Amino acid sequence: MLLVTELKTGSTIRLEDKLYRVMDVIRHAGSGQMQGFMELKLKELPSGHITDKRLKMNEKIEEVELSKRYMEYIYTSGDELIFMDSENYEQVPVHKTKIETDERFLKEGIKVTVELLNDQPILIQFPKIIELKIASTGTGRREGSDNTLKPATLENGIEILVPQFIEPGEIVRIDTEKLKYIDRVTIKK
C-alpha cells in the first residue's frame, strides 16, 4: 500500500476490486477550509474504459506489480490469440478483449509485450511503431504537389493518409496509437 501522493503515471493499481493503469496524476492543493486532493485519470484493465477518481491526499492505495514478457504472435484460434514466449517456447492463449490496440495490427511474427498478473495475461501492448505494406492508394487532394496527403489502405485493411510519393507495395512506418504515417522504409540493396 502506498499513499495516493506517491502514485506515478504508468503505475498499475487495484481500486474497488478492479485493475487500473494510471494515465495522469493531478495534485490539487487545498486552500482555507478546503482540503487538497489528488485527481487520477485511470484506464480500466483490460476493458480500456477511462474514468476519473478524486482521492484525499492521505488515502492509501494498492499498487499492483505486473510482470512483462516479450512474446511473438503466432495465430488466432476463435476468440483467442496465441502468443509464444521466445525464451521457453511456451504458447500462451490471450482473449481478444485484452488487446490495447486495434487487433488488425496483429500479423504473424509481430513481437508484443504481454503483461501478466499471477501468470494470467491482463494486457497486450503493441509496439508504438510498426512497419506495414501499402496495399493501395487513392488520388491526392491536390495534383502535382508533394506536400499533400492521399488515402492509402494498408495490408491489414486500415486506412491512413500518406504523402503523394507513396505507392502500393512500399513499406511504411505507422504510429499504432494515432494511426498516422511516420515515414517510408527504405530497403538497402
Closest among 126, 128, 166 to 148, alpha carbons compared: 166
Length of the chain measured in residues: 189
For residue 147, what is its C-alpha cell? 506536400
Average pLDDT, the chain: 84
Which tens digit of pLDDT belongs to each residue from 62-78?
888 888 888 998 988 88
Cell 487500473, located at residue: 20
Which band of pLDDT confidence, cut at 50, 70 and 90, is reported for residue 136? very high
The domains of the chain are located at 2-63, 67-125, 129-184
Indicate the CATH number of 129-184 among 2.40.50.140, 3.65.10.10, 3.30.2130.30, 2.60.40.290: 2.40.50.140
pLDDT at 120 over 60: yes
How far is it, in rounded angstroms, from Cα 138 to Cα 162? 10
Global confidence as pTM: 0.68
pLDDT at 44: 85
Indicate the CATH number of 67-125 among 2.40.50.140, 2.60.40.420, 3.30.450.40, 3.40.50.300: 2.40.50.140
Indicate the CATH number of 2-63 among 1.25.40.10, 2.40.40.20, 3.40.50.1010, 2.30.30.30: 2.30.30.30
For residue 46, what is its C-alpha cell? 483490460
